[in-house]
């Protein structure tokens, strides 16, 4: 079955509410070949692989062949959603040519570049499988292990996401990325109170039904993988980490160190604020209050009955931040859009 989608418009990745989680993007026109299953119905796939493609024409067919060979050997029903993000090379032509001979490939074409986060959000919305796999088309991830990640979710319902945790760093700006990613990961671990072996791995499988409420939180860029990790962890959805090898990517990297590192840090704080603002705001409020009280005591001892304005400002600042933390926590508790109680697992 060959399916090609050409969105007339690319939905804004930063819209506060976003489209319904299970709806196609505005302006999308989808043509589906006739079903060839019994009674005119084709069984839905077990897994949907969302493959963002931007200027990957030189190697994307080889990546598709590697993914499909592994999935065919596993016996799993699957589909591959190959999304061309308005590439400027021949990526779209290669994808359409591949889809003619690969019946499990659906091609989605964007007319404007939306970023990997937008691709993954729309791909997940349009996926028909209950298990969605995110990966890259740059030959860096061991995509022949995708069936292993899917099978882990099928075998163990206590996990809602399986992440391929990279053992090495092979990306560009390696000497800068390693300390920056370590710092961001430690901040995320501190704020979520959980160990995170790999915060932003691009290879992961998760349950679509669990992820749907969080899709509107995805940013347009690379930090979308960080977002889905923190969304699951912050709302008590268990994640299993599987060690994987990581190869040097084919083609040219789209990662910009300063801009994307800043976005990673900002997204970590944003996600924790979204689910548990007290963890972000209350510690600085308490520290400021203790510093202000301590300074007030010292000031009174050194200069009786003298209370400097700066001491008063420190104490007032701590009270304002604490008030904001409590108000933000009240908003979170009354929002009513979280999945909530994940239930008792493993029993």
Residues 205 and 111: beta-carbon distance below 8 Å: no
Indicate the angle between helix axes 146-155 and 60-74, nearest 10 degrees.
40
- CA distance linking residue 48 with residue 81, whole number of Å: 7
Note whether 239 and 229 are within 8 A (CB): yes
User: Cα–Cα distance between 143 and 275 in angstroms, integer?
Assistant: 32
DSSP 90: S
| Rounded distance between C-alpha atoms, residue 306 and residue 317, angstroms | 20
Say what the pLDDT of residue 37 is.
40
What is the SS3 assignment for 293?
Answer: helix
pLDDT for the residue numbered 177: 62
Helix (H) or strand (E) holding 132: strand 131-134
Q: What is the pLDDT of residue 25?
A: 44
Q: What is the pLDDT of residue 89?
A: 92
Give the per-residue pLDDT at 182. Answer: 79
End-to-end, the C-alpha distance of the chain in Å comes to 39
Angle at 58 between CA 72 and CA 80, to 5 degrees: 30
Angle between helix axes 60-74 and 91-101 (nearest 10 degrees) is 30
- CA–chain centroid gap for 270, Å, is 13
Return d(Cα 336, Cα 340) in angstroms, integer.
9
Q: What is the mean pLDDT of each run of 10 residues along the chain (347 residues)?
A: 43 40 40 38 90 93 95 96 94 95 94 92 95 94 96 96 85 62 80 86 95 90 84 90 86 60 75 83 94 91 86 94 92 67 41
pLDDT of residue 179: 74
How far apart, in whole angstroms, are the C-alpha atoms of residue 199 and residue 194? 11
Alpha-carbon span 114 to 98, nearest angstrom: 23
pTM strictly above 0.85? no
Please give the pLDDT value at position 289: 95
Q: What does the pLDDT read at residue 252?
A: 64
């Amino acid at each position: 079955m060959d399916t090609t989608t050409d969105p007339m418009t690319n939905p804004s990745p930063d819209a506060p509410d976003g489209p319904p989680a299970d709806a196609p993007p505005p302006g999308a026109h989808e043509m589906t070949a006739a079903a060839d299953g019994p009674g005119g119905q084709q069984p839905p796939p077990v897994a949907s692989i969302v493959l963002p493609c931007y200027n990957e024409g030189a190697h994307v067919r080889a990546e598709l062949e590697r993914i499909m060979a592994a999935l065919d050997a596993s016996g799993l029903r699957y589909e591959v959603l190959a999304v061309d993000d308005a590439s400027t090379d021949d990526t779209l032509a290669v994808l359409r040519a591949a889809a003619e001979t690969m019946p499990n490939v659906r091609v989605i074409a964007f007319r404007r570049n939306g970023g990997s986060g937008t691709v993954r959000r729309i791909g997940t919305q349009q996926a028909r499988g209950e298990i969605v796999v995110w990966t890259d088309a740059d030959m860096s991830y061991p995509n022949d292990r995708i069936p292993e990640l899917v099978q882990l979710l099928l075998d163990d319902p206590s996990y809602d996401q399986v992440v391929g945790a990279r053992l090495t760093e092979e990306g560009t700006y390696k000497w800068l990325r390693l300390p920056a990613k370590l710092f961001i990961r430690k901040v995320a671990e501190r704020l979520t109170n959980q160990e995170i072996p790999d915060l932003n791995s691009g290879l992961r499988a998760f349950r679509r039904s669990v992820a749907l409420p969080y899709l509107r939180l995805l940013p347009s860029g690379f930090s979308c993988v960080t977002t889905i990790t923190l969304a699951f962890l912050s709302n008590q959805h268990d994640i299993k980490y599987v060690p994987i090898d990581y190869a040097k990517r084919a083609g040219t990297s789209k990662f910009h160190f300063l801009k994307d590192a800043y976005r990673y840090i900002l997204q970590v704080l944003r996600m924790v604020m979204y689910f548990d603002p007290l963890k972000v705001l209350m510690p600085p409020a308490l520290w400021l209050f203790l510093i202000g009280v301590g300074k007030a005591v010292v000031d009174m001892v050194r200069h009786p009955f003298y209370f400097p304005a700066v001491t008063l400002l420190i104490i007032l600042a701590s009270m304002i931040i604490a008030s904001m933390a409590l108000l933000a926590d009240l908003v979170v508790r009354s929002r009513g859009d979280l999945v909530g109680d994940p239930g008792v697992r493993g029993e």
